[in-house]
C-alpha cells in the first residue's frame, strides 16, 4: 500500500470510549501535526491512557473516528501499528531477558529481518545509553534504565510516531531529565511524539502544544504561552510590606498594566497583564516617593497550574 499522505500525524473526531455506563474519553477532537512534540496533560483518571490505547489500536473506540499516520484507526489498524511505537505506562518487556534479547524477540514479532534488528539494536541501545548493559538481565535495571529500554523497544521498527505514556512517573530527578532530553533528541530527528503526563511543569518545559484533559474531556489546547493567556493574567508581583492601607492598594491598581492588587499576610499581590521594565521602574519610584519599605520582592511567571485550575474549575487532585 502506498504511504498515506496526511499533513497531520493524528486527527481524531469525536473519539469516545465508554466502559459500561462510564465515559472515560468524551468526544475528543484534535489534530497533531507531523513532527510535533504533543502533550496530553491531566490528573489521574483524566483519560490519557484510554486515549493512547485507542490511538494505538489496543482499545476500540465506542464512537468517533481517527486517523493515525494517515490511516484509519478502524479499517487500517495494521498500517497504523506498523507506523507507531509505544512506550507503555508500565514496563511491558521481559525482565528475565537482556536488552538485546528483548529487542531480538520484538524483531521476530514484527517479522523484521535479523540483520536490520541487530543493527537497530546496536544503534538504539547507544542512543538510550544502555549499550554497556546490553547483555545484562533487564529485571536488574533501575526505573530509568527500564524506561530507556522501553523507548528503544518502541523505536525498533522505525516508527513515525512514538506514544509515551507518563514515561517519567516514578523516576528520580536525574532519570527524568535524561528521559526528557532523550525525548527531545528523538523528536528533533523528525519523530512525532505523543507524551502524556500529569506534571504541569514537565508539559510546560517539554511540549510544543498541550491538550489539557480532565474527566475524559478536552478542556484546553494550545502552546504553553497560549494556555497561559487563558488564565487571563500574566505575571504576579509580590511585595512584602509591613503595613498597607487602602490608598496604597488603590494606587497600585491604577498603575500601568495592573489588573488587581490585594493585601494578605503582610504581602501585597499585584497582578499585571504583561511585565514590562517601565512597570518595575514606575512601581519602585512610587514606593520610594511614598517612603514605603519593601522587605521582600518577588516576580512570578504565570504557570500552567493556574490555567489548569481555571479550565477545570477546581484544585489539583494529584
Ligand atoms: N478497562 C476499564 N474498565 C473500566 N474503567 C476503566 C477501564 N480503563 C480505564 N477506566 C477508567 O477510565 C478513567 C480513565 O482512565 P485512564 O487510565 O485513561 O486515565 P489516565 O489519565 O491514564 O490516568 P493515570 O494518570 O492514573 O494513568 C478512569 O476513571 C478509569 O478508572
Ligand atoms: Mg494513564
Q: Are the CB atoms for 282 and 255 separated by under 8 Å?
A: yes
Domain assignment present for residue 217? The answer is: yes
183 with 237, same domain? Answer: no
Kindly report the protein residue whose alpha carbon is nearest to atom 4 of ligand 1.
19
What pLDDT is stored for residue 314 in this prediction?
65
Q: How far is the CA of 266 from the centre of ligand 1 (A)?
A: 44
Helices (runs of H) and strands (runs of E) counted in the chain: 11, 14
Q: Please work out whether the CB of residue 17 comes within 6 Å of at least one atom of ligand 1.
A: no
Q: Please work out whether the CB of residue 49 comes within 6 Å of at least one atom of ligand 1.
A: yes
96 with 202, same domain? Answer: yes
Q: How far is the CA of 180 from the centre of ligand 1 (A)?
A: 24
Domain assignment present for residue 312? The answer is: no
Mutate which of 20, 23, 24, 86 for ligand 1? The one with the most ligand atoms within 8 Å of its CB, which is 24
Domain assignment present for residue 213? The answer is: yes
213 with 242, same domain? Answer: no
262 with 286, same domain? Answer: yes
Q: How far is the CA of 250 from the centre of ligand 1 (A)?
A: 48
Last residue of a domain, one of 207, 229, 251: 229
Phi and psi angles of residue 14, each rounded to the nearest 5 degrees, phi first:
65, 25
Domain assignment present for residue 212? The answer is: yes
What pLDDT is stored for residue 318 in this prediction?
46
Q: Which ligand is nearest to the CA of 43?
A: 1
What pLDDT is stored for residue 316 in this prediction?
47
Q: Are the CB atoms for 176 and 83 separated by under 8 Å?
A: no
Domain assignment present for residue 318? The answer is: no
Q: What is the number of domains present in the chain?
A: 2
What pLDDT is stored for residue 235 in this prediction?
83
Mutate which of 15, 45, 88, 202 for ligand 1? The one with the most ligand atoms within 8 Å of its CB, which is 45
Cite the beta strand spans of the chain per DSSP E: 8-19, 22-33, 37-41, 63-68, 71-72, 84-87, 161-165, 192-197, 209-214, 217-222, 235-240, 258-264, 267-272, 296-300
46 with 120, same domain? Answer: yes
Domain assignment present for residue 316? The answer is: no
Q: How far is the CA of 51 from the centre of ligand 2 (A)?
A: 9
Task: Tell the residue number behind the cell numbers 501585597, with chain if given.
Answer: 268
Index of the ligand 1 atom closest to the CA of residue 43: 25
What pLDDT is stored for residue 278 in this prediction?
83
Q: Please work out whether the CB of residue 47 comes within 6 Å of at least one atom of ligand 1.
A: yes
Q: Please work out whether the CB of residue 317 comes within 6 Å of at least one atom of ligand 1.
A: no
Q: Please work out whether the CB of residue 48 comes within 6 Å of at least one atom of ligand 1.
A: yes
Q: Which ligand is nearest to the CA of 60?
A: 1
216 with 279, same domain? Answer: no
Kindly report the protein residue whose alpha carbon is nearest to atom 2 of ligand 1.
19
Q: How far is the CA of 249 from the centre of ligand 1 (A)?
A: 47
43 with 87, same domain? Answer: yes
CA–CA dist 73, 62 (Å, integer): 12
117 with 192, same domain? Answer: yes
Q: How far is the CA of 263 from the centre of ligand 1 (A)?
A: 42
The segments of the chain whose pLDDT lies below 50 read: 316-318
CA–CA dist 112, 104 (Å, integer): 9
Q: How far is the CA of 89 from the centre of ligand 2 (A)?
A: 6
The 3-state DSSP class for residue 49 equals helix
285: domain range? 232-301
Amino acid at each position: 500500500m502506498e504511504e498515506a499522505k496526511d499533513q497531520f500525524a493524528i486527527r481524531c473526531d469525536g473519539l469516545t470510549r465508554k466502559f459500561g455506563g462510564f465515559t472515560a474519553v468524551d468526544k475528543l477532537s484534535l489534530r497533531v501535526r507531523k513532527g510535533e512534540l504533543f502533550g496530553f496533560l491531566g490528573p489521574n483518571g483524566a483519560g490519557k491512557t484510554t486515549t493512547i490505547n485507542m490511538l494505538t489500536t489496543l482499545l476500540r473506540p465506542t464512537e468517533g473516528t481517527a486517523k493515525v499516520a494517515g490511516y484509519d484507526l478502524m479499517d487500517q489498524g495494521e498500517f497504523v501499528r506498523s507506523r507507531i511505537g509505544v512506550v507503555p505506562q508500565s514496563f511491558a518487556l521481559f525482565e528475565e531477558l537482556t536488552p538485546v534479547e528483548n529487542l531480538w524477540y520484538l524483531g521476530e514479532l514484527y517479522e523484521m529481518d535479523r540483520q536490520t534488528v541487530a543493527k537497530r539494536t546496536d544503534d538504539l541501545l547507544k542512543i538510550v545509553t544502555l549499550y554497556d548493559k546490553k547483555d545484562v538481565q533487564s529485571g536488574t535495571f533501575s526505573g530509568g534504565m527500564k524506561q530507556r529500554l522501553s523507548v528503544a523497544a518502541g523505536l525498533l521498527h522505525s516508527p513515525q510516531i512514538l506514544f509515551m505514556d507518563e514515561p517519567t512517573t516514578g523516576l528520580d530527578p536525574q532519570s527524568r531529565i535524561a528521559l526528557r532530553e532523550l525525548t527531545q533528541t528523538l523528536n528533533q530527528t523528525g519523530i512525532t511524539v505523543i507524551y502524556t503526563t500529569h506534571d504541569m511543569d514537565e508539559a510546560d518545559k517539554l511540549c510544543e502544544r498541550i491538550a489539557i484533559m480532565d474527566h475524559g474531556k478536552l478542556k484546553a489546547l494550545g502552546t504553553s504561552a497560549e494556555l497561559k493567556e487563558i488564565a487571563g493574567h500574566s505575571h504576579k508581583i509580590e511585595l512584602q510590606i509591613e503595613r498597607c492601607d487602602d490608598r496604597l492598594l488603590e494606587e497600585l491598581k491604577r498603575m500601568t498594566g495592573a489588573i488587581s492588587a490585594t493585601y494578605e499576610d503582610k504581602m501585597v499581590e499585584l497582578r499585571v497583564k504583561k511585565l514590562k521594565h517601565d512597570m518595575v521602574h514606575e512601581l519602585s519610584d512610587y514606593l520610594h516617593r511614598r517612603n514605603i519599605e519593601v522587605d521582600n520582592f518577588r516576580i512570578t511567571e504565570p504557570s500552567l497550574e493556574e490555567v489548569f485550575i481555571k479550565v477545570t474549575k477546581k484544585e489539583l487532585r494529584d
